[in-house]
Amino acid sequence: MYIVLFGPPGAGKGTQAVRLAQAARLAHVATGDMFRDNLRARTALGQRAESYLTKGELVPDELTIGLLMDRLDQPDAAAGVIFDGFPRTIPQAQALDRALHARGKGVGVAALIEVANAEVLRRLGGRWTCSDCGMVFHERTNPPERDGICQRCGKLLMQRSDDTPAAIENRLRVYRQQTEPLVAFYEAAGILTRVDGEREPEAVQADLLRVLEAVSA
Ligand code: AMP
């Protein structure tokens, strides 16, 4: 089962993807987390991606697709994946289709988590991310049990450098211009599902679980 989760920044993709991957025993593949890991480890890829991440721009397709293809080759991806933040452009979606078809597989469903711009802006200000495992919390909608501490691994929470007002605005613009065309792409493929992302995480998760069940039935 290969599931694409997409939507604007702050839609809750990361939170939902972690929960769904656990519930459905699928690999969770988040290109944003992979870029941030590379940045922290000061790899060549991390250094090439850094300026894009900081500004809220997309990392060029060639780099992103290469990273994703290597990840798809890892054994845990063979049984299925929740893609979180990939694809974000039409060429990425086409590359993913080609790669999965070559393995005799395909994207089962592309779930669009819909959230309006005003709510995105409200949400990203209060977002906290684990400095170690990447788990995402929110002051209002999904607070950690202990302030500033990750509930999953106990490490410190931090605010992402691209959650500044200028970067947030840019990420939204980039999303509307470059990623939103995926709605028509997956609609044409007959695999688009829309989920209202402006509700409690539990309600969004319940909808997504129903979608997964329908696909695997
Ligand atoms: P995210 O954690 O998904 O919000 O991603 C954080 C940043 O990583 C994005 O703003 C981009 O700079 C980069 N990034 C993540 N996924 C992709 C992708 N599929 N294509 C291009 N850039 C990406």
SS (H, E, C) the chain: CEEEEECCCCCCHHHHHHHHHHHHCCEEEEHHHHHHHHHHCCCHHHHHHHHHHHHCCCCCHHHHHHHHHHHHCCHHHCCCEEEECCCCCHHHHHHHHHHHHHCCCCEEEEEEEECCHHHHHHHHHCEEEECCCCCEEECCCECCCCCCECCCCCCEEECCHHHCHHHHHHHHHHHHHHHCHHHHHHHHCCCEEEEECCCCHHHHHHHHHHHHHHHHC
75 pLDDT higher than 80: yes
Distance 95 CA to ligand 1 centre (A): 16
Q: Residue of the nearest CA to atom 14 in ligand 1? A: 32
217 pLDDT higher than 80: no
Ligand 1 pocket by C-beta < 6 Å: which residues? 9, 31-32, 35, 52-53, 56-59, 64, 85-88, 92, 162, 171
CB 151 within 8 A of CB 175: no
List the strands of the sheet with 81-84, edge to edge.
27-30, 81-84, 2-6, 107-114, 192-196
The pLDDT tens digits for 136-182 are: 898 887 899 999 999 999 999 998 878 888 888 899 999 999 999 99
The pLDDT tens digits for 6-15 are: 999 989 999 8
Query: Catalytic residue positions?
Result: 13, 88, 127, 160, 171
The pLDDT tens digits for 32-67 are: 999 999 999 999 999 999 999 988 899 999 999 999
Q: Which of 88, 94, 180 to mutate to test the pocket of ligand 1 (most atoms within 8 A of CB)?
A: 88
- Between residues 154 and 127, the one the model is more confident about: 154
73 pLDDT higher than 90: yes
What pLDDT does 215 receive? 83
Considering the chain, what is the average pLDDT of its residues?
93
- The confidence band for 202, taking pLDDT boundaries of 50, 70 and 90, is very high
Average pLDDT over every residue of 106-128: 91
What pLDDT does 152 receive? 93
Burial state string for 46-72 with b = 16 or more CB within 10 A and e = fewer than 16: beebbebbebbbbbebebbbebbeebb
174 CA: nearest ligand 1 atom: 10
Distance 119 CA to ligand 1 centre (A): 20
Q: 193 has which bridge partners?
A: 111
CA end-to-end span of the chain: 11
CB 86 within 8 A of CB 31: yes
What pLDDT does 124 receive? 84
Distance 18 CA to ligand 1 centre (A): 17
